[in-house]
Amino acid sequence: DTSLAEVNSFLPSMPISPSSMTNQYKFEDEPELRDLFITVDDPESHITAIETFITYRVVTKTSRGEFDSSEYEVRRRYQDFLWLKSKLEEAHPTLIIPPLPEKFIMKGMVERFSDEFIETRRKALHKFLNRIADHPTLTFNEDFKIFLTAQAWELSSHKKQGPSLLSRMGQTVRAVASSVRGGAKNRPEMFTEMNDYMETFSQKINVLDKIAHRIYKEERDYFNEMKEYGPIHTLWSASEEDIADSLKGVASCIDKCCKATEKRMAGLSESLLPILHEYVLYSEILMGVLKRRDQIQGELDSKLDALASKKTEKDLFSEDIGKLEDKVECANNALKADWDRWKQNMQCDMRSTFINVAENNLHYYEE
């Protein structure tokens, strides 16, 4: 598909080794330039009369002047991460906010509160915070700083200072009104291209996600059958003296295949599935960001239409239009810069992920 051709393009001068190919692509932020390091670890279960939940330790190390200390350690639960994401979306409606793992990210594959589920979520939360830390704008957000530094009671107090119910209702009414008006009439061509790209990307990444889950399920079924198949040959060898050595050899071979398959499954569940699912969520986020940009444009368009139909209140309308034009320009510039950055990171992630899967497959078949 030509709209995604650049995702698959490789430079002819690139080295052939998959590992060295991965090394050709780096994120903009090199580790030595970073001044904020965040780790999410040490999950802990909490059981109360009302609910059971997990908290994670968030350790922050920084050399930034706006922080009172160089190191912080706090505990956060999933709800706190959700709050941070909603505050970032509220403050930066046309920036691409990284996705959070859903409530049941691996539904049907792991049990909630199992070690595997908790570890999958911990990795996703760690990545979420570090993507924000690496973002040139989001990293300086005040709510992000509070999330990293405030103790639990301070964070609860800060959460209660959110927008009032009437303010939230006003935002909802405006959003609904904008969506009823339909797409922006004067949408610049580049945002129409972005929208088309994301529709294609969303379709393809969802197909890849489904295929990857199907492959994982087939591998798991194959692995479970092999686990039973090996011991059968060992038991059989006890009653067949003439071919006992051959049967033990087959049992040993099956055991090696079992271990290789288990390693391959681990590679899929750790490297491929989470990345594909993250970009499924990213595709939804980006479609939302483009809609919000169109809503801002729609407000400006409706004011311009009103100005054209009314001769009176011209000065008042002109002032509103000036503010809306500035708002649209800010939204456009923010999204343009974030789009280029997101696309570069996405292409880097996809290349390294699929090269990693190819290398794992090579090792698997060699074993």
Q: What is the pLDDT of residues 28-60, one digit of tens each?
A: 444 457 889 999 999 988 888 787 889 999 999
**CA 252 to each of CA 33, 235, 256, 258: distance values in angstroms, whole numbers, following the listed order:** 51, 13, 6, 10
First to last CA, the chain: 35
pLDDT mean across residues, the chain: 82
Q: Let me know if domain 35-154 sits in CATH 1.20.1560.10.
A: no
At residue 25, the pLDDT reads 41
Q: 294 pLDDT exceeds 80?
A: yes
DSSP 242: G
347-355 long-range Cβ contacts below 8 angstroms, 24+ apart = 347/6, 347/7, 347/25, 348/25, 348/26, 348/27, 349/275, 349/279, 350/7, 350/275, 350/279, 351/21, 351/22, 351/25, 352/22, 352/25, 353/271, 353/272, 353/275, 353/276, 355/18, 355/19, 355/21, 355/22
pLDDT tens track for 208-253: 999 999 999 999 999 999 998 888 998 999 998 899 999 999 999 9
pLDDT at 167: 45
| Model confidence at 317: pLDDT above 50 | yes
Query: 130: pLDDT confidence band, cut at 50, 70 and 90?
Result: very high
Q: Which of the residue ranges 160-164, 272-276, 347-351 would you say has the lowest mean pLDDT? A: 160-164
What confidence tier does 173 reach under pLDDT thresholds 50, 70, 90?
Answer: very low
65-81 residue pLDDT tens: 889 999 999 999 999 99
Question: What's the half-sphere exposure (Cβ side, CA atoms, 13 Å) at 131?
Answer: 22
Quick one: CATH architecture of 183-366? Up-down Bundle (1.20)
Q: Which helix (H) or strand (E) holds 338?
A: helix 314-366
Q: How confident is the model at residue 184 (pLDDT cuts 50, 70, 90)?
A: low
Confidence of residue 6 (pLDDT cuts 50, 70, 90): very low
On the question of pLDDT at 87 being above 80, the answer is yes
Domain ranges of the chain: 35-154, 183-366
- Average the pLDDT over 249-270 and give the result: 93
Q: Is the pLDDT of residue 296 over 80?
A: yes
Supply the pLDDT for residue 32: 53
